[in-house]
Structure 1
Amino acid sequence: MDISEEILNLKSVTFSPADLAVYYAAGHSEPWRHASHLDLINEAILLAFNGGIQRVAAFLPPRYGKSHLISRYTPAWWLGLRPDARVVMTSFSHTRATDWSKDARDVLNTVGPKLFGVRTRLGTGKGKEDNWGVESFNESGEYVRREGGMLAGGIRTGISGVGADLLIVDDPIADWADAYSETFQRTNWDWWKGTATNRLEPGGVVLYIQTRWCQEDLAGKILSLAEDQPDQFPWLVIRFPEWAEVDEVTPVSIVGGANNVTKELIDWVDEKNAEKRFHRMKGDLLWPERWNLRAVKERKAKSCEGGELEWQAIHQQDPQPGSGLVFNPSFFQVVPTVPVDALRVRYWDLACTKGTGGDWTVGVAMSYSPEEQAFYIEDVIRGQWSPGEVEKNIALASQMDGYQVAIRVEEEGGASGKILIGVFARMLSDYDFAGRRAKGPKIGRWRRMVGAMERGNMYLVEGAWNQMFIRELTTLPGGKNDDQADAAAGAYAELIDMDRLSPHVEVV
């Protein structure tokens, strides 16, 4: 049994999660990618392990190694050194949290006996990967059960009734739909206040890692509250933009808990910010060995299809004011006329709801001018109609638009959707008609249109419908109705496809 006394000396531990990653990877043909941003996170984990801070938050772009370090190697390392500790792992889904729990278990099982004299044992839960314990080698040469172990669960589920000496929150938000949903924001916040923080044992540590989405995401709310609570725990915040837009010499800061900030913590932060290895000058990339300039430019171009705010939040970790709204009021430019030479489509989002209180049937007429490289929302028709009235109004609108305007109707899933499209195809057989399946989450479809708005390439033609259209879109994603946004996004996607366009994005 090869157990290093130096490693097991908890008072002066220098062996780190990154060291464990290097050791494990060397024996398994899994090279550990070294990077200065991971070095800083690794040193912050050591600081927390030794009692220098109890709350650490790290914000990085996707695919920059943060989860491998914190969610895979840190739990194995923590339990190897403290086999009586309880580690709770959470993520946006139970499956994701369990995957990291399995990885941590496999690492500890593989190298734990040699490095720490510790191995895993199965938990009492229904799964073998989301709930497991540890046992250590005693002086008699036998493994004995210890109090520690790991429990994994999705956000808002799976961790009640269990204490946590280490709570890991790894990307609690899955996508744009969750990030901008007021309901999801509220339930996430309730989970954090009512479940997550109540699981912490005295002296418990929180390692929180996330890609930022908007100012109203869970991380934003946690840090905003911390700023107003001088008697609570301070947060050590590490922020790494993907592409330095200014000279960056202070990647780490302290947020909140002013009355509990120690001189040792201040000195540690000042020391790290003074180290040149963590400095970047304007234009420097975060991890050029993995993401070179060409790759980052491609990521920026792709991100900016959904608007500049998306790039600032997800890749730069700097969500801007208003980024919690999908459609900003400043996006809407009203013009009196539209170019004659343009591609045109009217896209219908159907509801078939008679009366008030439900969804609306909406038909958005949009055009694209190749000469001006601009989109024009020409007209919006909406109503809460019965199925018969829907057919009648679509037929009437088609006659008024003329044969030069393509007609598209969103096709719902299942046999009923195909049958309905067949009805319209027969009714509109003289027109350019087709059904269209919506692709991807609706908030993603909206944001592609937002990109054109932000670049000043989309206009509203003056009409009585303008005010209602703008009012509905600027309340999203929390507004009562989103039918006009869905229809407009469908029309935009159709025009892109009709002319095989790629939205123009200038990357500098």
Structure 2
Amino acid sequence: MNRNERVRYMYALKERLVRESRTDLLRFTLSTMPTFEPADFHRRYYGVLTKFAHREIKKLMVFMPPQHGKSEGSTRRLPSFILGERPDTRVAIVSYNAPKARKFNREIQRIIDTPEYQEIFPETCLNSSNVTTVAGSWLRNADECEIVGHLGGFKTVGVGGALTGEPVDVLIMDDIYKDAKTAWSATVRESVSDWYDTVAETRLHNKSQQLIVFTRWHEDDLAGTLLRQQGEYHPTENPNGWVVVIYQAIKQGSPTEYDPRQEGEALWDERHNIEKLEAIRKRNPHVFDSLYQQDPKPSEGLMYDIGFTEYQTRPATKYCIRKAYVDTADTGADYLCAIVYDETEIGNYLVDVLYTQKPMEYTEPELARILTKHGVQECVVESNNGGRGFQRAVERQCRLIGNAKTKFKWFHQKDNKEVRINVNSAAVQNLTFMPFGWVKLFPEFASAINGYMKIGKNPHDDAPDALTGTIEKRKNKVKSDVAGLFGR
């Protein structure tokens, strides 16, 4: 390739990149921010934001842990990109206070002023001078900027501020709670909801778009309130609902369209690895679930609010039998929960857990392997909804791999699950001893236990149900008068 050919090639390549930057937010960001090195989840996140920019999504919520780059995409690059594609669009950006909102304003101005941006979107530009009043000119100040020659522009405002004037086509709300203290304040949460109802929502019209992006602190934050009122999007059943995208710091559950990670993988391992995240989780599991896993639960409403004592070595006892309690999945959305534990006169010492939504093709041989590995003497299986057949299949698997030790029992659970969990909650906490580091050993099980609420709808109750069963099945001969046990 001679020099002229190389020049033509480079020119064609640049033209292609410019064209791609006009239609794809990630390519636009790479062109206007050369230092950006997107991780895999950034590519998917920016893909969702591109759909929003192209008006394929009307109402979007994105929940992400702190320091993972959510605002760069949602609140700096996205409005700049939208105004490039559609310079007549009126964008409003809201944050927890005016100084924070004005910082976003300055950053968007800088993006639009760059030569790279002007090459991509030459029709979108700001007044070259700082203009604070209309006076026949295009506004450009710390609170509002207008696109020269067009109807569009962007306003930035703190929660509680005014959104007077023209209607809003795109409303972006980023970090509307400053920190945990404000998010956990009922007064602040109420004021945010009132401001949204009386100010922000009144500026919207039938075709307006809304984007809420922040880290979840509390189940009754604005996102939680709107989801309870309006629900999640479904193309036929709830077309006016919210598209919800959740990025957990440590993946729990099955892969999804927006987050195809395997369970246990860190979201941005290069910046926040598993070791760092687990250390944070260990310091405060409740805060970690809210802030990093986007699963907010108020501690005052938790079922197991006392917590569990951890053990490293089980103490010598007069009585000990290794048992397993199995609660099979009732439906495809439920979890199978199998708990292996040592029953003693002091209490139950949890040894291992199988907690999964995987099908029977996986759970039957896996449970047989676990029972055999731990030398389980007695396995109790709830017979409800196919439990009897599951028990027979697991027993057959055990015998095939040489386990003749485990004795299987089945029973029909006729009592109300919610009542059982509530009535036995104190005994469960007082008589259950968790292995040291159990939150890390069994993260999804631990989240289901530590996040289970006394009042309100819980997404899953399989783990608390099985843990309750281990207490209900304690033998009568187990010593009940244990000094100090109920005083901790």
TM-score range, shorter chain: 0.5 to 0.7
1:7/1:15 contact within 8 Å kept? no
Aligned partner of residue 74 in structure 2, secondary structure:
helix
Q: Are residues 191 and 319 of structure 1, via their aligned partners in 2, closer, same or farther at CA, if it must alter by over 3 Å?
A: same
CA deviations over 1:61-85 (Å, ceiling 9, x no partner): 0000000111111111111111111
The match for 1:116 is 121
Residue in structure 2 matching 1:21, options 22, 29, 41: 29
Task: Specify the code of the residue in structure 2 equivalent to 1:314.
Answer: L
Aligned partner of residue 286 in structure 2, secondary structure:
helix
TM-score by length of 1: 0.52
The match for 1:354 is none
Q: Are residues 115 and 14 of structure 1, via their aligned partners in 2, closer, same or farther at CA, if it must alter by over 3 Å?
A: closer
CA deviations over 1:28-79 (Å, ceiling 9, x no partner): xxx1130222222222222223232200110000000000111111111111
Task: Specify the code of the residue in structure 1 equivalent to 2:306.
Answer: F
1:77/1:108 contact within 8 Å kept? no
Query: Aligned partners of 1:224 and 1:200: how far apart in 2?
Result: 20
The match for 1:234 is 241
Query: Aligned partners of 2:90 and 2:99: how far apart in 1?
Result: 20
Task: Specify the code of the residue in structure 2 equivalent to 1:331.
Answer: I
Query: Aligned partners of 1:164 and 1:5: how far apart in 2?
Result: 33
Task: Specify the code of the residue in structure 2 equivalent to 1:281.
Answer: Q
TM-score by length of 2: 0.54
Query: Aligned partners of 2:239 and 2:196: how far apart in 1?
Result: 15
Q: CA RMSD in A?
A: 3.5
Query: Aligned partners of 1:149 and 1:292: how far apart in 2?
Result: 39
Residue in structure 1 matching 2:294, options 284, 309, 317: 317
Query: Aligned partners of 1:8 and 1:285: how far apart in 2?
Result: 33
Instruction: Report 1:17-416 matches (<5 A).
Output: 17-26=25-34, 31-110=35-114, 111-117=116-122, 118-121=124-127, 122=130, 124=132, 128-135=141-148, 145-227=149-231, 233-246=240-253, 248-250=254-256, 272=257, 278-301=259-282, 304=283, 307-320=284-297, 322-323=298-299, 325=300, 330-331=305-306
| Alignment gaps of 5+ in structure 1 | 136-144, 251-271, 334-454, 456-508
1:124/1:132 contact within 8 Å kept? no
Q: Are residues 170 and 151 of structure 1, via their aligned partners in 2, closer, same or farther at CA, if it must alter by over 3 Å?
A: same
Query: Aligned partners of 2:200 and 2:97: how far apart in 1?
Result: 15
Aligned partner of residue 205 in structure 1, secondary structure:
strand
Aligned partner of residue 150 in structure 1, secondary structure:
strand
Query: Aligned partners of 1:326 and 1:99: how far apart in 2?
Result: 37
| Alignment gaps of 5+ in structure 2 | 1-11, 134-138, 309-433, 435-488
Q: Are residues 216 and 14 of structure 1, via their aligned partners in 2, closer, same or farther at CA, if it must alter by over 3 Å?
A: same
Query: Aligned partners of 1:328 and 1:185: how far apart in 2?
Result: 23
2:99/2:158 contact within 8 Å kept? yes
Aligned partner of residue 146 in structure 1, secondary structure:
coil
1:152/1:158 contact within 8 Å kept? no
Query: Aligned partners of 1:55 and 1:188: how far apart in 2?
Result: 18
The match for 2:402 is none
Aligned partner of residue 105 in structure 2, secondary structure:
helix
Q: Matched residue pairs, number?
A: 290
Displacement, 1:100? Answer: 1.0
Task: Specify the code of the residue in structure 1 equivalent to 2:269.
Answer: P
Q: Are residues 108 and 186 of structure 1, via their aligned partners in 2, closer, same or farther at CA, if it must alter by over 3 Å?
A: same
Task: Specify the code of the residue in structure 2 equivalent to 1:243.
Answer: I
CA deviations over 1:119-146 (Å, ceiling 9, x no partner): 11255459722211112xxxxxxxxx21
Query: Aligned partners of 1:86 and 1:123: how far apart in 2?
Result: 18
